Amino acid sequence: MHKYLRAIGFSQIKELDDQDRLLHDVLSHYDFKKVIENEDHQLFAEISREYAPNAGITVCGHYDEDNLFHMEYYYPHFWGSQVTTYEQVTVERHIATESYAAACDDMRVGTTLIFYLNNASEYLSLKESGVFKEVQASVTLAALADSGSILMPVRKEKKPVTENPEKTEHRNSLVNAAQNGDQKAIESLTMEDIDAYTTLTNRVKHEDIYTIVDSYFMPYGMECDLYSILGDITSVEKNVNAVTDEEIWQMSILCNDVPMDVCINAKDLFGEPAVGRRFKGSVWLQGRVDI
């Protein structure tokens, strides 16, 4: 079973027969379907059904010469509602299946964001037409969480409105310069990290770590599109899986100034989400690339 099926309300799918019935339902009662000829001149199909708002299952495969569909893989999807970033995007095919990983550098996070591409058919269509290469594109990120908890917000000192944007812009320019090999920028960022580490080491002796660190976005586990995140909840909605009646939470969060949406089964969330509180959890990052 796919580990993140439970995130969209299918926590009881544990047998292969149950999985087969679910996939048959997707293929028989789909909401979205797109067929595109890939670079091998095969008809690649992406078939999706929603079981909650913006959340469902996508089945991918190929049509043969007799117009028979052969499933290659499936995955639970969650489509985000807000543009996360506008950066240069690189897309690469996975080795085992005709699925894709996308990557973009985001200065706010200070690292490369790698995510599972959930509009592969649109990408293939643009690639075949020669439109999509390594280009600037808007990226809408969303994530499925297998576990999470709600933390209270951190009371922040009031600062001039103009201070944070200038500080962020300066740091972004340093990160960009460091990535291009600027030695002075690398040294400056290294000193900042040392100062931050020293401050953190002193404060953690007397304060809880989550009152010091109010947000983070960092890789988690062995796979490149898994992350551990902590961010402020900006909107929250409880929905129900149309088949299982399991409750799921869908939240918009701001994590390191990066807006994204998160979907999690209510059974797997500790605490009551609300705007202003924080979400902490481990997630599988997905995204759509739009040119």
Residue recorded with tokens 């939470």: 249
Q: What is the pLDDT of residue 160?
A: 45
Least confident of 25-34, 181-190, 210-219, 281-290: 181-190
Query: And the tokens for 140?
Result: 């809408």
Q: Is the pLDDT of residue 264 over 70?
A: yes
Question: For the chain, what are the domain ranges?
Answer: 1-155+214-291, 157-213
In the chain, what percentage of residues exceed pLDDT 90?
54
- Top pLDDT among 109 and 247 is at 247
> Where on the phi/psi map is residue 146: left (φ > 0), alpha (ψ -120 to 50), or beta?
alpha
Q: Is the pLDDT of residue 164 over 70?
A: no
- How far apart CA 59 and CA 50 sit, in angstroms, is 12
- Top pLDDT among 19 and 108 is at 19
For the chain, give the number of residues: 291
Which stretches within 204-256 are classed as H helix?
Answer: 209-212
Q: What is the pLDDT of residue 138?
A: 87
Dump pLDDT digits (tens) for 187-196: 887 888 788 7
In this structure, are strands 226-240 and 278-290 parallel, antiparallel, or unpaired? antiparallel
Least confident of 83-92, 131-140, 180-189, 191-200: 131-140
Q: Is the pLDDT of residue 209 over 90?
A: no
Residue 10 has phi, psi (to 5 degrees) of -115, 55
147 touches 249 (CB < 8 A): no
In this structure, are strands 100-106 and 269-270 parallel, antiparallel, or unpaired? unpaired
Tell me the pTM: 0.86
Residue (of 272, 263, 279) closest to 55 by Cα position? 263
Q: What is the pLDDT of residue 162?
A: 42
Residues facing 36 on adjacent strands: 44
**What is the pLDDT confidence band of residue 54, given thresholds at 50, 70 and 90?**
very high
Which stretches within 205-256 are classed as H helix?
Answer: 209-212
